[in-house]
Copies of this chain bind each other. A is one copy, B any other.
């Protein structure tokens, strides 16, 4: 685990393999979280700002200071097509660090969306642009540009460790982070998991019980489950 540092912009980062990212984009957050062995989730407080918002891309990380969005502008220059900006903050803050102007700038650089452990504003415009944002809060509160944070350092965003270049996937179920080095392996596991669910879904729809399909009756009895009439 690297060390967080302030006042630093790392320009060269190793992004996850494009094909792996592409493949991951086909799966939902819950499936990928399972495929990763149930790790990598952000806290449930992070929600999409509009129904239908979803994103998948490689992380450009930002470490913000509370009430200060200066580093968002610094981050814009580091965005490459296919990136998602992941913004953490050195202290809890619901201020509106991001709005439609920054979204316009980010999109012009090829940005796929934003995940921020803080607040955003201009929700109507962001929705109209269909610029996906996952945030802790919606707040019109403006921010200043006075103190250095960092760009492309390891960050903790909503309880999840994010390294620059990691794959970040967000949908209605929340946001999950896949370390760059594991992207292909997790994508394959997600594919396998999804395939295996098709048959299960059909059985369950036909009325087969999970109790039988998963052979749970014996372990339940062993654990002491009693049926009372």
Residues of A within 8 A of B (CB): 1-12, 28-30, 33-34, 37-41, 43-44, 47, 65-68, 70, 72-74, 76-77, 90-96, 99-102, 104-105, 107-109, 119, 121-124, 127, 137-142, 144-148, 154, 156, 159-161, 163, 171-174, 176, 179, 181-182, 197, 200-201, 204-207, 209-211, 214, 216, 220, 223-229
Contacts and interface: CB of A to CB of B under 8 A. Distances in A.
Contacts of A7: 223-226
Given A93-B67, A148-B224, A201-B104, A176 B76 contact: no
7 contacts: A11-B228, A41-B139, A44-B94, A66-B95, A91-B95, A104-B205, A123-B173
Q: How many copies does the complex hold?
A: 6
Contacts of A163: 1
Nearest to A102: B210
- Most B CB contacts (10 A, CB to CB) among A8, A41, A121 go to A121
Contacts of A171: 124
A140 B73 CA distance: 28
Contact of A179 (B3, B91, B205): B3
Nearest to A126: B172
Contacts of A182: 3
Given A9-B227, A11-B228, A223-B148, A91 B204 contact: no
A145 B122 CA distance: 28
Contacts of A38: 6, 90, 141-142
A171 to B, nearest CB: 7
A96 to B, nearest CB: 7
Q: Give 8 closest A-B pairs by Cβ, nearest first.
A: A1-B1, A66-B67, A73-B210, A123-B172, A146-B146, A105-B204, A44-B139, A1-B154
B8 A226 contact: yes
Contacts of A3: 179, 181-182
Contacts of A205: 104-105, 107-108
Contact of A174 (B6, B140, B148, B206): B140
A70 B216 contact: yes
Nearest to A182: B3
